[in-house]
Amino acid sequence: MSQKAHLSFSGQGFDSSRATLTIRRTRAFRSFQRAVGDSTLLINSAYIGLELIARGGEKPPGLDINWSAPKNPRDVASKSRSLLHAAMLGHLFSAVDNYLYDLANEPWLQISTETRNILRKSKTKPGNKAYSIPERFAEIGTFTTDNELADEVLLEILTIWRNQSVHELRDTENIRTRLSRSTEDRLLQSAENLKNRYGKLDAKALIEHIKENKTPTRKDIVALASAAQNYLRAVDGRLLAGSLNSQEAVQDIALTEIRNALLSPNDRAFKVTWGKAPDARVRRLVAILQEAGFAPEAKIVPRTSPNFLLSLAESSAQDARNRLAQRHDSSS
């Protein structure tokens, strides 16, 4: 979310009663960002700690961990970094895989039933073979810009590298790389783009790391994480553009999110919210919608009407309950 949107939701210079809102990202992308958003910070933090060990640092007093300074601290730090990179490779893969699952479970997105089944892997290819992550993304659509094609090939590299590290024996005498020639060629075609955008990433070195069955380097992992975020953001934007075709559609989704948050079996959350003044109700409704990916927007359309939240918040408890329940019945 942009800094402007963040400040708006914090109440600084933002009249929430007159908010116009739209969906800036799906719940699936929000979950993905939570999973990997701080990956660079966390990797760098781990590197700093390991470098302190490599330079002879000792365990801080009071830290209840069974650890003694190694005889060769530099070697231990290097091996620890490799383990960190391997774990991060699996973490990124899982986050991307979960994004596709979560998209399939977002009912308002304009995605066919067959595509949803492919995204959640409940449908297989002929021969009962599973669709790969790149193939599942291809079901949503393809891109043509240089940046998106470059990010797409790095996402494919992430999948290949993870599968190779998990499914192949770590036998350096008999390495079985899963990197195809076509993927290698596409990566090399995007080499300059990736070098300029991802910290001077070396595509040729990346290829050699995979072929030699090595774990990724820090630069490799940071580039893979950044490319995954950029590619999923592009996919998310395209899905939103194809699914939000009217103000009514945006408001219907908002009402559904509010209903799911407030009308629990005992309606306690609803009673607490409607026990407050209308301005406090609006703030609670904004918070619910923020969690669902909505953000203040005055220019992008479609968006909610300016009095959408205020109208709901000023309704009596019975009228508000009826409106939310009615929305549920119409969408069932």
Tokens of 315: 């309704």
> ∠ CA 326-331-332 to the nearest 5 degrees?
100
What is the per-residue pLDDT across 22-63, written as a single tens digit (0 to 9) for each? Answer: 898 999 999 999 999 888 888 889 999 999 999 999 888 888
Cβ contacts of residue 154 below 8 Å, gap of 6+? 187, 194, 223, 224, 227, 228, 231
Identify the pLDDT of residue 15.
55
Cβ contacts of residue 309 below 8 Å, gap of 6+? 16, 17, 19, 21, 282, 285, 286
Identify the pLDDT of residue 39.
83
Please name the amino acid found at residue 269.
A
Identify the pLDDT of residue 291.
87
Identify the pLDDT of residue 330.
52
What is the per-residue pLDDT across 283-305, written as a single tens digit (0 to 9) for each? Answer: 999 999 988 889 887 777 788 88
CA-based max dimension of the chain: 74
From the CB of residue 14, how many other CB atoms can be counted at a distance below 10 Å?
Answer: 16
Tokens of 318: 């019975």
Classify residue 71 by its DSSP letter. Answer: S
Classify residue 129 by its DSSP letter. Answer: B
Classify residue 296 by its DSSP letter. Answer: E
Q: Which residues of 140-169 are buried (b: 16+ CB within 10 A; e: fewer)?
A: beebeeebbbbbbbbbbbbbbbbebbeeee
Identify the pLDDT of residue 329.
53
- The conformational region for residue 144 under phi > 0 = left, psi -120 to 50 = alpha, else beta, is alpha
Which residues of the chain have a pLDDT value below 50? 1-14, 17, 169-174, 332
Identify the pLDDT of residue 37.
84
pTM of the predicted model, to two decimals? 0.84
